[in-house]
Structure 1
Amino acid sequence: MLIKDVVLSKGLTGFYFDDQRAIRQGNYQENGIAYLGEPMTPGFSKIRQAGESVSVQLVLEDGQVAYGDCAAVQYSGAGGRDPLFLADRYIPQIEEYVVPKLVGRKLTSFRELAEEIDQLTNGEGKPLHTAIRYGVTQAILDAVARSKHLTMAEVIVEEYGLELIPERVKIFAQTGDDRKLNADRMIIKQVDVLPHGLFNNVNKLGRKGEHLKDYVVWLKNRVQELKPREDYLPDFQFDVYGTIGEAFDNNIEEIGHYVQELAELAAPHRLAIEGPVDCGSKAEQIRVMAELREYVDKHNIPVVFVADEWCNTLEDIKEFAQAKAGHMIQIKAPDLGGINNSVEAVLYCHEHGIIPYLGGTCNETERSAQITVQLAVATRPRQILSKPGMGVDEGLAICTNEMNRLVALLKSKAR
């Protein structure tokens, strides 16, 4: 099967680009959902601006159309990530550097072609933006699957020598700032892991973490009040964007005492803390995250630390895994570029005793979310992120329905 043509179009994501530096430093005033103030991260014209995507459609010689979406994370340009992904700026780069590599290409192996595209460079010899590599490789996976009359999950299982397990993967939903109303939505719909919480400023956490403690108590009580079935016991995972480290001056022992309190408040729910510290560099982040893991393990504190900031690429993930810098790693799919890297990252975590969490961002599209589900069922991370958006219902429906359709289809084929 040949690729006959490539068609590009500008699109919207399910959320926004936010200037994380300006938000963390409190350099803004809230005005509805907008942030008033001067942006601090290069490339931003406002602290919050509309998320953009580029859809890549591959027209195959038999008339089928495969597609994927280029998208970048909400906090672009932060923590060592690529800069803001603006469609009008990057569509010409796709046309110049990617399209000639695809038109007329014979589809044989997803892995081979994805790795080739992921290694492409621009006119300055630099790698193409992660969002470009992310979306184009999605389209390639879809194209190979269509050419072989397989699901995308089956292609990954076949090419990476995996076992096909037609079962669900846990879904982790995120509340955004509307922590209570959106938690209600999650509980009613029996989300596996909740609520994320978006504690991205120390004032939201509390100067000594008091606001998060209050929220944990409220959340546990709310689950009991609204749970749709008696045995519903979701995991609790909170993303704190380094604010616990900020509140306790990155003191390992003080952080340990604090998370022990959180674990006691959350019990019997399993507790995970994502991004407990943000140390400003990868080397320091790895060192402190490894010390935090060692401390809580030594003292039998039932908390899972999740690495996120400064863990952006496949090589970063390998370094964090080797150093045991946390118990779980968020594999933030758009940051890794080609989705072949996300596959490799999940498998590497499995091999090195680190829990893989195949994540992403609210600032993706329905298509990138669907393809993430396909990767997850094939590679078996512990959980995936419900995406796109921050409204809970929409992203949860997209991911749940894609997963349930895929699992049902794979079981039907097995029969």
Structure 2
Amino acid sequence: MQIKDVLLAPGSGAFCYDDQAAIRAGASQDGFIYLGKPLTPGFTSIRVPAFSLSIGLVLTDDTVVWGDMMGVQYSGAGGRDPLFETNQISDLTSRVVAPRLLEVDASVFGASCARVFEHVEGQRLPLAVEYGVSQALVRAAAHLQRKTMAEIICAEFDLPLPTCRVPIYCQSGDAREINVDKMILKAVDVLPHGLINSRQKFGVNGQTFLQFVKWVATRTREIGHAGYQPVLHFDVYGWIGQEIGLDPQPIADFLCRVADTVPDFALNIESPADFGSTQAQIENYAEIVSILDNRGSRARIVVDERCNTLEDIRLFAEAKATHLVQIKTPDVGSIADTARAVLLCKANKVGAYVGGSCTETDLSAQASVHISVATQADMMLAKPGMGVDEAFSIVGNEQNRLLAILNRRRIQNENVG
């Protein structure tokens, strides 16, 4: 077999794990930390540094390929896996995953994933484990076949080699104004996220949020280059539903109102409300989508919470219960399932956004780029972190390098033909 040893190395995620329940309940900020007691199991404080665990596969030629495991910022919320705990994940990986890795043919990505990710005592492995290990496995297959990770995915799913770049979406964190300026100057395709995760940021009846939306549009016109026309994308973390209620009609009315404030821009609103369960989310989001579409509104809703796994994504896509799915990569698990999720969305004529979390790493971000480009997702998140510059550089440069390689490969194939 091509894998002769497995290495584990503890690491850091690029941001923090946050207790969403405590923040929604009104926890106040003191500098970079939140004050008060955590509410979500596993959290010792409301904000804790993000931890990761790298897994390295030592191949027979002594090359070591890596993947990174981690959770998402709001772990334990919205039906997600609990807070990432390095020691527990390390122990499970050593006992269960490493022996399986030593038995697989690492040059065959799909079959390797299927074997390594078999259930243990009827239970699926933690999604963070699937995520990190699958990154290492796709890198192993790419190395052994002398191809890019994107080409491995294209071959696995019988896709043509891509020629087009995928639009990049940046997130601002709490440094909204400064980071919006950075995004505009860098001509980011989709912006700014906004981190509208508290009543203070949303405002009474959404007034604070509406003012921010207007400001982003105005600022884009003020300092953006001529002809720059980004998509405006705001994540409100369920606060429309929190503030104005969970009736789909007034939620749709509010979304139309937001779109009307920025008539020259396409508008995405992520997580307008949290209806408490996947089924309730599907039913109510489908109604909101129907109302918006019947009105011809430019507002599009994006699902995040309650839509985590590949099966969740299938349910939302088939029900047309969203305009765009955030495929939150660590929550989906294996990156093979991220690829399947994009293709599933496309088959159902629903937008596919390969997202993830600010808590990720450079390695997981680069792997996500290859999945996004191979499957030609509608957009992908600049990650990790909340600083814009680093994430946009990591994701943007990886995409440009990949497309240069694929273009050369295409020319070579044409010349041979």
TM-score range, shorter chain: over 0.9
TM-score, normalisation: structure 1? 0.97
- Return the alpha-carbon distance in structure 2 between the equivalents of residues 139 and 224 of structure 1: 43
Tell me the SS of whatever aligns to 2:317: helix
Answer with 142-151 or 62-71: which moved more: 62-71
Instruction: Report the AA paired with residue 363 of structure 1.
Output: T
- Decide which of 214, 217, 224 is 1:217's aligned counterpart: 214
Tell me the SS of whatever aligns to 2:48: strand
The answer to whether the 8 Å contact 1:281/1:310 transfers is yes
- Return the alpha-carbon distance in structure 1 between the equivalents of residues 114 and 264 of structure 2: 43
- Note the aligned Cα RMSD (angstroms): 1.1
Are residues 1:80 and 2:79 paired? yes
Tell me the SS of whatever aligns to 2:232: strand
Q: Which residue of 2 aligns with 1:327?
A: 323
- Decide which of 373, 393, 400 is 1:377's aligned counterpart: 373
Tell me the SS of whatever aligns to 1:209: helix
The answer to whether the 8 Å contact 2:248/2:285 transfers is no
1:22-63 Cα deviation digits (max 9, x unpaired) = 00111x231210112100000000100010101011010012
Q: Which residue of 1 aligns with 2:24?
A: 24
TM-score, normalisation: structure 2? 0.97
- Return the alpha-carbon distance in structure 2 between the equivalents of residues 334 and 68 of structure 1: 12
- Measured after TM superposition, the shift of residue 400 of structure 1 is 0.4
Instruction: Report the AA paired with residue 302 of structure 2.
Output: V
* Structure 1 unaligned residues grouped into runs of 5+: none
Instruction: Report the AA paired with residue 394 of structure 2.
Output: I
- Return the alpha-carbon distance in structure 1 between the equivalents of residues 9 and 60 of structure 2: 20
- Measured after TM superposition, the shift of residue 78 of structure 1 is 0.5
Tell me the SS of whatever aligns to 1:108: coil
Q: Which residue of 2 aligns with 1:97?
A: 96
Are residues 1:159 and 2:156 paired? yes
The answer to whether the 8 Å contact 1:321/1:354 transfers is yes
Instruction: Report the AA paired with residue 85 of structure 1.
Output: F
Q: Which residue of 1 aligns with 2:184?
A: 187
Are residues 1:51 and 2:50 paired? yes
1:288-344 Cα deviation digits (max 9, x unpaired) = 100000011111111111111100000000011111111111110100111111011
- Measured after TM superposition, the shift of residue 251 of structure 1 is 2.3
- Measured after TM superposition, the shift of residue 267 of structure 1 is 2.1
* Equivalent residue runs for 1:7-406 within 5 Å: 7-26=7-26, 28-121=27-120, 125-227=122-224, 229-406=225-402
- Return the alpha-carbon distance in structure 2 between the equivalents of residues 101 and 194 of structure 1: 42
The answer to whether the 8 Å contact 1:97/1:120 transfers is no
- Aligned sequence identity (%): 44
1:183-217 Cα deviation digits (max 9, x unpaired) = 01100111000000111123311120111110111
- Return the alpha-carbon distance in structure 1 between the equivalents of residues 103 and 326 of structure 2: 36
The answer to whether the 8 Å contact 1:19/1:39 transfers is yes
- Return the alpha-carbon distance in structure 1 between the equivalents of residues 202 and 28 of structure 2: 18
- Return the alpha-carbon distance in structure 2 between the equivalents of residues 240 and 364 of structure 1: 21
- Measured after TM superposition, the shift of residue 107 of structure 1 is 2.2
Tell me the SS of whatever aligns to 2:326: strand
Tell me the SS of whatever aligns to 1:49: strand
- Return the alpha-carbon distance in structure 2 between the equivalents of residues 284 and 389 of structure 1: 31
How many residues of Structure 1 are paired with residues of Structure 2 in the alignment?
411
Instruction: Report the AA paired with residue 250 of structure 2.
Output: E
- Return the alpha-carbon distance in structure 2 between the equivalents of residues 111 and 356 of structure 1: 21
- Return the alpha-carbon distance in structure 2 between the equivalents of residues 250 and 36 of structure 1: 28
- Return the alpha-carbon distance in structure 2 between the equivalents of residues 156 and 285 of structure 1: 31
Instruction: Report the AA paired with residue 9 of structure 1.
Output: A
The answer to whether the 8 Å contact 1:118/1:337 transfers is no
* Structure 2 unaligned residues grouped into runs of 5+: 412-417
1:260-292 Cα deviation digits (max 9, x unpaired) = 121121221100100011011111111110000
The answer to whether the 8 Å contact 1:177/1:197 transfers is yes
- Measured after TM superposition, the shift of residue 104 of structure 1 is 4.6
The answer to whether the 8 Å contact 2:107/2:140 transfers is no
